[in-house]
Amino acid sequence: MGQNLPPLTHGSKRDIRIDLARGVALLILVSDHLPGNPLRAITPVSWGLADMAEVFVLLSGYVFGLGILKRQSQSEPQLIRKRLVKRALVIFVAYLTTALIALLIVRTFQITTVANMLPAHLVANSWRSVTVDLISLDGRVSHLCILLLYCWLLLGVASFPCIVWNHPRLLIACSFILWITVQLLPRLSLPEPIQTTTYYNPFAWQFLFLSATTYALLPVKHRKQFLDHRGVFPILLIVHGSLYLLIGFDVNLPRTLLDKPTLGLLRYIHVVTAALLVRAVLPEQFSPTWRKVLRPLTLCSEQSLWVYCGGSLVAISMANWMSTSVGTWDPIFMNLIAWTTCFGIAWGTERTKAYWNFQS
């Protein structure tokens, strides 16, 4: 999911706060994809405005910005574009493969709770027809549509001239104008059938991605001055808390402020303020003991694409069991199985990559 291109900080060390946030977000996302999961009621997708999709896009944009700084310092601007296109291709192949396996599981085990969320032709047609449909983006697998959003975001930023990254103010201004235009003209999107398949409007969501990218491109002292200012933290708390009050009192707001496909204004503010609050609260450094304790979560972040795909397949496979579960402990046990499987996928992917690099 998030790019594996750049490191998360300048130098050789990763920022564990980002990995920790992405790891937690990934496990929540897997639980949210488990149909009938009662624990979903206590995750942001049920009681918040923004959910884990926004978290991934925001953090990946920040990681990408840090990567640009490194590539610029190494005088390798062209490498950014090549790696973005390559990453987009990897994500598309991952989407196609995972979607076919997901449909195989749904058809074989007749998982109706998942089948009801899929386009009818993907469940009923021949495998040849389904494969062609998925390749041509005619119909979407709802659990996986964020992967396609990443494809369009990566290909979109890959088309930027390299000089654009040297002017972050111009970048954020153009990104903001495009986002506002989509709010006023929500039908402005990619052509069909890509628009339906993606679900999220890339012309709107690019602002979330590029906002974080632009923030990462700022000088370190400017970023720290902003977050260390005494008035910033209470303002973030007030704004973020006010959004929860709007939710709690069920205030009837215009759809353009809340719409997920076009990333409404309040959804954007919600995820940005949440990210800044988490960054302000978490320590910059963790002790070696805590790093070991948190390693499963950070490892999931480092291998987020494969954990997301594998976790989605696990959630789909467990859908029938969840629908027949009774009592309180059954759902908790099933969520623990799903999360443990995600840890296993992350560990196995890391070991495989390490072995492959060693052999190479």
pLDDT per residue over 65-99, tens digit each?
888 877 665 556 677 788 899 999 999 999 999 99
Instruction: pLDDT band for 5, please (50, 70, 90 cuts).
Output: very low
Q: What is the pLDDT of residue 326?
A: 72
Q: What is the pLDDT of residue 213?
A: 93
Q: C-alpha dihedral over 168, 169, 171, 174, to 10 degrees? A: 170
Mean pLDDT on 3-31: 73
Q: Are 33 and 143 in contact (CB under 8 A)?
A: yes
Quick one: 178 exposed, middle or buried, by C-beta within 10 A (0-12, 13-18, 19+)? middle
Q: Are 227 and 276 in contact (CB under 8 A)?
A: yes
Q: What is the pLDDT of residue 13?
A: 61
Measured between alpha carbons, how far is residue 257 from residues 16, 124, 145, 183 in Å?
32, 37, 22, 9
Q: What is the pLDDT of residue 227?
A: 76
Q: Are 314 and 338 in contact (CB under 8 A)?
A: yes
Instruction: pLDDT band for 4, please (50, 70, 90 cuts).
Output: very low
Q: Is the pLDDT of residue 343 over 80?
A: yes
Mean pLDDT on 199-220: 93
Q: Is the pLDDT of residue 12 over 90?
A: no
Q: What is the pLDDT of residue 8?
A: 37
Mean pLDDT on 107-136: 93
Q: What is the pLDDT of residue 94?
A: 97
Count other C-beta atoms under 10 Å from residue 169's C-beta.
Answer: 10
Quick one: 282 exposed, middle or buried, by C-beta within 10 A (0-12, 13-18, 19+)? middle
Q: Is 111 helix (H, G, I), strand (E, B) or coil?
A: coil
Structure tokens at 160: 């930027």
Q: Is the pLDDT of residue 180 over 80?
A: yes
Instruction: pLDDT band for 218, please (50, 70, 90 cuts).
Output: confident
Q: Distance between CA atoms of 312 and 34, rounded to whole angstroms? A: 8
Q: What is the pLDDT of residue 47?
A: 86
Structure tokens at 107: 């058809």
Query: What's the one-letter identity of residue 271?
Result: V
Q: Distance between CA atoms of 32 and 43, rounded to whole angstroms? A: 8
Task: Indicate the length of the chain as a whole number.
Answer: 360
Q: What percent of the chain has pLDDT over 90?
A: 61
